[in-house]
Chains A and B, each alone.
Chain A
Amino acid sequence: TQLLEQSPQFLSIQEGENLTVYCNSSSVFSSLQWYRQEPGEGPVLLVTVVTGGEVKKLKRLTFQFGDARKDSSLHITAAQPGDTGLYLCAGASPGTYKYIFGTGTRLKVLA
């Protein structure tokens, strides 16, 4: 059974601070995604990474896929209250379109 462990599980920071969220597994993934979910809504896709070592930037968010395609990180620069939410990573095994979701990181950014 594949497992995606995210850390930290909870994170509360002040506006303007930087943070990094980690997503780790012992399995290799063909692609890995990051989603953000707000209360009462479905997850919204932020990014998909497919190449080992790949780095993608989305405004203040930087996503990295590990060289071995087993882990990923999400770095947020100068966090804002609007970044508050549940961040989920999800990985797909080679040859499948089924994504397994991580345990989630619940971020709260205080004004």
Chain B
Amino acid sequence: NAGVMQNPRHLVRRRGQEARLRCSPMKGHSHVYWYRQLPEEGLKFMVYLQKENIIDESGMPKERFSAEFPKEGPSILRIQQVVRGDSAAYFCASSPQGANGYTFGSGTRLTVV
């Protein structure tokens, strides 16, 4: 029973490029959450999705960031025109319907050069 799978584990992008981060939730989990973690800091909530719906995107920057969780396939966090300040670890978590407690993936470490 695979856990939450995130890929890539490491991603290097030049300023201005696009970054696509993928997250496959645990089997049977219909809720996906994305968090961002800067070095030596806690996790900051970005967005909460269910299949084909964005439930809460209050933590997403207004520009350049978008997220989706299609009916088929992984959830995608997309960052357009990346800047150095986007460098961080991005974690995805999933949970079943109505459950307390997340299962986190191992994260994608984005470095913008």
Contacts and interface: CB of A to CB of B under 8 A. Distances in A.
B102 A45 contact: yes
Contacts of A98: 33, 45, 48, 56
B42 A33 contact: no
Given A43-B91, A97-B31, A97-B95, A102 B42 contact: yes
Given A45-B102, A98-B56, 18 more contacts: A41-B107, A42-B4, A42-B93, A42-B104, A42-B105, A43-B43, A45-B104, A48-B101, A88-B42, A88-B43, A97-B98, A97-B100, A98-B33, A98-B48, A101-B35, A101-B44, A103-B42, A104-B42
Contact of B104 (A40, A44, A50, A103): A44
B41 interface: yes
Interface in B21-43: 31, 33, 35, 40-43
